Amino acid sequence: MSEPLIFELSRPGRRATAQAPLTSVDVDVPEQFRRSSTPVLPEVSELQAVRHYTRLSRLNFSIDTHFYPLGSCTMKYNPRACNQLAMLPEFLGRHPLAPAETAPGFMACLWDLQEILKEVTGMRGVSLTPMAGAQGEFAGVAMIRAYHLARGDDHRNEIIVPDAAHGTNPATATMCGCKVIEIPTGADGDVDLDALSAAVGPNTAGIMLTNPSTVGVFDRNIQAISRMVHEAGGLLYYDGANLNAILGKVRPGDMGFDVIHMNLHKTFSTPHGGGGPGSGAVGVSERLLPFMPVPFVGEAEGGGYRWIDESERPQSIGRLSAFMGNAGVLLRAYVYARLLGREGMPRIAEYATLNANYLMKRLAEAGFDLAYPERRASHEFIVTLKRQARELDVSAMDFAKRLLDYGFHAPTTYFPLLVPECLLIEPTETETREILDEFVAAMAAILDEAGQDAEKLKGAPYTTPVRRLDDVRAARQLDVAWKGEDAA
């Protein structure tokens, strides 16, 4: 199964004639500014375009078609109602600079979402404007930095990051002009308290933590960590990538965190969309309220809502997007939150955790090694194939690719970096027990294959639109744009 490039379907003079104005008018710009060459874009009919992109969609694995246990990504069902309601014509047609008073319904949805997120995170303020998790992280660390600068603590520029953290954490700290201090994870999966104690000091700006962490366990010492960092004058940043594991059960604010970003495309089930758009709303404690990114929604005098911007928040870290963030994504998250309601939120954490622990137990029984066998899994857990790599000469990558042939998207591979040959597996709460059992059966079958014919795994996948791709060639013989038939 494969599909030519849209450019290869192109014929001179063809186009989707219904989609542009029917008459041709002259362009009113002086010669010096005009384009002399015609850009090489496809010339295809509407049907050709529809068929081509529909066929391309069918080359993807997705939640709607496959079990997608990608650890740390929370690939759960994206309810269709969220999309339907966010795409009501009144919302889609709204210009971002139109007066807020003309959109009381839209503003009320965003206000309600801010309030719901404050409640489930235990924070004092929420700003919805960051456009992805990484931008939420940026906002969080920028607020920590702004807090210290406002107190005259210019020297506090060290951000402590555990070695298990997402790559975005150290990258964000660098973007905020901070120095990264990496600390090891203990053998039990919790933060190494001695290492933390040695790392904190007068230059500590804060610590970035994911809890439950990326190794799939809840850090039992979180209150001690919080005390230690606060006593040193630092603040605590909560990476909300794993919020799904604790939603409605425990709150980052109660654990002592000063700032949190939420990946609404994970916990609040807005679509991942092949890699975006995301949404990285941030929540803050009392002391960071003045620094929140703008704009956010406030109550207006005499009822209704309005945007609050820099003019009322002079200490804000400012705006991070041209307008007000990914509004359409926020509407989807709002609809999801209303469908879940008060009762639904803790059920998310409970069943995500149940599915993860069940799957972990069943895989262990099937002969797989767990990275942290003594611990309770959160909503995800790690299998390490270190032993199979040594004994059978197969890698985590081979297992991942072979799973595709069995009709399952692969778990996250080679992350976190500290566990060798690892698969990070997150089943989510929306999967049935039958699917989990089928996944275990597939993993067991692959393990069996590995014992009998390791080469079979190395050649996988066999049933996907393409076989294993040459990534080295992709980087060395860079072909990142179509330049005409001759170049192909």
Partner 1 sequence: MAFIPHSSDDLSEMLQTLGLSSIDELFDEIPDDLKIGPLEGVPPALSEMETQRLVRERAAADKPLVNFLGAGAYEHHIPAAIWEIVTRGEFYSAYTPYQAEASQGTLQVIYEFQSMMTALTGLDVSNASLYDGGSGVAEAVLMAVRANRKSKSRRVLMLGGVTPAYRHVARNIAGTQGLDLELVPVDPSAGRTPLEALAPWEGEDLTAVVVQHPNFFGQLEDVDAITDWAHRQGALLIGVVNPLSLAVLKPPGEWGADGADVACGEGQPLGVPLSGGGPYFGFMTCKMQYVRQLPGRIVGRTVDLEGKAGFSLTLQAREQHIRRSKATSNICTNQGLMVTAATIYMAMLGAEGLRRVAAHSMANLNRLVDQLTAVRGVELVFDGPRFHEAVLRLDRPAGPVLNAVAERGIAGGYALKNDYPDLGDAFVVCATEVRTDEEIAAYARTLEDVMRRAQVA
> Among residue numbers 240 through 259, which ones bind partner 1 (CB under 8 A)?
246, 248-251, 254-255
Stretch that binds partner 1, among 15-23, 198-206, 282-290, 448-456 (CB under 8 A): 15-23
Stretch that binds partner 1, among 97-105, 195-203, 385-393, 443-451 (CB under 8 A): 97-105
Q: Looking at 123, 126, 142, 225, which residue binds partner 1 (CB under 8 A)?
A: 142
430 binds partner 1 per the rule CB under 8 A: yes
Kindly state the number of chain residues that form the binding site for partner 1, as judged by CB under 8 A.
Answer: 200
283 binds partner 1 per the rule CB under 8 A: no
Q: How far is the CB of 419 from partner 1 (least distance, A)?
A: 15
Please state, in angstroms and rounded to a whole number, the distance separating the CA atoms of residues 278 and 403. 27
Q: Are 206 and 137 in contact (CB under 8 A)?
A: no
Q: Looking at 209, 232, 396, 404, which residue binds partner 1 (CB under 8 A)?
A: 404
Angstrom CA distances, 84 to 91, 235, 329, stand at 11, 40, 12
The edge-to-edge listing of strands for the beta sheet with 125-127 is 125-127, 282-284, 259-262, 235-240, 204-209, 158-162, 179-183
Candidates 107, 8, 89; CA nearest to 48 is 8
Tell which positions 149-178 bind partner 1, by CB under 8 A.
166-168, 170-177
What's 61's DSSP letter? -
26 binds partner 1 per the rule CB under 8 A: yes
Residues 209, 210, 216, 217, Cα dihedral to 10°: 60
Q: Looking at 143, 409, 421, 426, which residue binds partner 1 (CB under 8 A)?
A: 409
Tell which positions 188-227 bind partner 1, by CB under 8 A.
217-218, 220, 222-223
298 binds partner 1 per the rule CB under 8 A: no
Candidates 136, 173, 145; CA nearest to 329 is 136
Residues linked to residue 412 through DSSP beta bridges, in sequence order: 424
- Dihedral sign (CA 287, 290, 293, 297): positive
Tell which positions 259-278 bind partner 1, by CB under 8 A.
269, 271-278
Angstrom CA distances, 463 to 55, 449, 467, 468, stand at 17, 16, 8, 11
Stretch that binds partner 1, among 195-203, 228-236, 330-338, 448-456 (CB under 8 A): 330-338
Angstrom CA distances, 40 to 17, 221, 236, stand at 18, 59, 51
Residue 160 in 3-state DSSP?
A: strand
Please state, in angstroms and rounded to a whole number, the distance separating the CA atoms of residues 457 and 309. 56
Q: How far is the CB of 92 from partner 1 (least distance, A)?
A: 4
Tell which positions 113-132 bind partner 1, by CB under 8 A.
115-116, 118-120, 122, 131-132
Tell which positions 436-455 bind partner 1, by CB under 8 A.
none
15 binds partner 1 per the rule CB under 8 A: yes
Tell which positions 453-472 bind partner 1, by CB under 8 A.
459, 461, 464-471
Tell which positions 32-71 bind partner 1, by CB under 8 A.
32-36, 38-44, 46, 49-50, 52-54, 56-66, 68, 70
